[in-house]
Structure 1
Amino acid sequence: MLQTIIDEIGAQMRGEEDRGKVADYIPELSCIDPRQFALSVCLASGEQFSTGDADQHFSMQSISKVFTLAIALGRLGEGLWRRVGREPSNSAFNSIVEVELSAGRPRNPFMNAGAILVTDAILAKGVPRHTLAELLHFIRAAAGDDSILINPVVAASEKATGDRNWALAHYLRSCGNLTNTVDLVLGTYFHQCAIELSCAQLARAGRFLAGIQSGPPLIAADNVRNINALMMTCGHYDGSGEFAFRVGIPAKSGVGGGILAVVPGAASIAVWSPGLNSFGNSKLGTQALELLSKRLGLSLFEPEPFRLPGVAAA
Structure 2
Amino acid sequence: MPSLKAVLAEIVQEMAAQTDRGTVASYIPELARVPVQHFGIAVATADGQVVCAGDADTSFSIQSISKVFTLTVVLGQIGDALWQRVGREPSGNAFNSIVQLEHERGIPRNPFINAGAIAVTDALLGESLPREALGSILSFIRFVAGDERISIDKDVARSEQETGFLNAALANFMRAFGVLKHPVEHVLGVYFHHCAIAMTCRQLAMAGRYLAFSGRLPASDTSVVSTDRARRVNALMLTCGHYDQSGDFAFRVGLPGKSGVGGGILAVAPGTASIAVWSPGLNQQGNSLLGTLALERLAKAMQWSVFGA
C-alpha deviation, 1:125, in angstroms = 3.6
Could you list the per-position Cα deviations for residues 263-306 of structure 1 after superposition, in whole angstroms to 9, with x for gaps in the alignment? Answer: 1111000000000001100000000000011111111111xx4x
Partner residue of 2:242 out of 227, 236, 239: 236
For 1:30-69, what aligned pairs fall within 5 Å after superposition?
30-69=32-71
C-alpha deviation, 1:215, in angstroms = 3.4
Could you list the per-position Cα deviations for residues 58-89 of structure 1 after superposition, in whole angstroms to 9, with x for gaps in the alignment? Answer: 00100000000001111111110010000001
Contact 1:74 1:220 in 2 (8 A): no
Aligned to 1:106, the other structure's residue is in SS state coil
Aligned to 1:261, the other structure's residue is in SS state strand
Structure 1: gaps (5+ residues): 306-314
My pick for the range that moved more, 39-48 or 61-70, is 39-48
Which residue identity does 1:247 align to in structure 2? V
Q: Is 1:199 matched up with 2:187?
A: no
Distance in 1 of aligned mates of 2:202 and 2:16: 18
Distance in 1 of aligned mates of 2:195 and 2:50: 25
Contact 1:125 1:179 in 2 (8 A): no
Distance in 2 of aligned mates of 1:33 and 1:84: 36
Partner residue of 1:289 out of 279, 290, 295: 295
C-alpha deviation, 1:218, in angstroms = 1.3
Contact 1:273 1:284 in 2 (8 A): yes
Could you list the per-position Cα deviations for residues 178-233 of structure 1 after superposition, in whole angstroms to 9, with x for gaps in the alignment? Answer: 00000000000000000001011000000011115133211222211110000000
Which residue identity does 1:232 align to in structure 2? L
Distance in 1 of aligned mates of 2:195 and 2:62: 6
Aligned to 1:75, the other structure's residue is in SS state helix
For 1:15-30, what aligned pairs fall within 5 Å after superposition?
15-30=17-32
For 1:171-210, what aligned pairs fall within 5 Å after superposition?
171-210=173-212
Structure 2: gaps (5+ residues): none
The aligned counterpart of 2:89 is 87
The aligned counterpart of 1:99 is 101
Aligned to 1:291, the other structure's residue is in SS state helix
Contact 1:22 1:30 in 2 (8 A): yes
For 1:241-256, what aligned pairs fall within 5 Å after superposition?
241-256=247-262
The aligned counterpart of 1:226 is 232
> TM-score scaled to structure 1, two decimals?
0.95
Could you list the per-position Cα deviations for residues 234-256 of structure 1 after superposition, in whole angstroms to 9, with x for gaps in the alignment? Answer: 00000000000000010000000
Distance in 2 of aligned mates of 1:173 and 1:31: 33
Distance in 1 of aligned mates of 2:221 and 2:121: 27
For 1:135-174, what aligned pairs fall within 5 Å after superposition?
135-174=137-176
Partner residue of 2:305 out of 299, 303, 309: 299
